[in-house]
Amino acid sequence: MIRVVARLALLASIVSPRDTDRPHQTDTPHVVPAGHTQVESAVGEVQLGGVLGAPPGDRAARLVLLDDGYKFGLVSHVDLQLLLAHAAYAPAQGRFEPAGPLSIRAKVNIVEEHGWVPEVT
């Protein structure tokens, strides 16, 4: 047991700090270290005012289920992110909507924090 705790403490000291985007859903300037994976999940969330890009008449609330972000550290200072809402329920229509959309993006750390210089991605 002591070995496991010691190894976890050593691993925590080696890996750079992680900052999740959930539940507040704002992008952070940190990237996932190379060779590591980070999974973020909002089990349930309520969207008010409709879906972004929906027709003007479609502004009903939705319950989004498992709005997940999967992040993979590709190389130093670069991560790949897959963002997917697995399902949504539209109470006004009384039906579930299919998964999607799937968003794929990369985040590149351009400037690291150093003194008064902020971290920039």
- pLDDT tens readout for residues 33-88: 899 988 888 888 887 776 666 666 667 788 888 888 899 999 988 999 998 888 88
Query: Average pLDDT, stretch 3-7?
Result: 46
Angle made by CA atoms 102, 39, 35, in degrees to the nearest 5: 105
- Tell me the domain boundaries of the chain: 2-108
pLDDT digits (tens, 9 = 90+) for 103-120: 899 988 887 777 777 767
Task: Give yes or no for a cis peptide into 23 (omega within 30° of 0).
Answer: yes
Q: Give the max Cα distance, the chain.
A: 60
2 sits in which H/E element: helix 2-14
Structure token digits, residue 85: 């809402």
* pTM over 0.75, yes/no: no
CA distance 23 to 108: 22
Query: Average pLDDT, stretch 10-17?
Result: 54
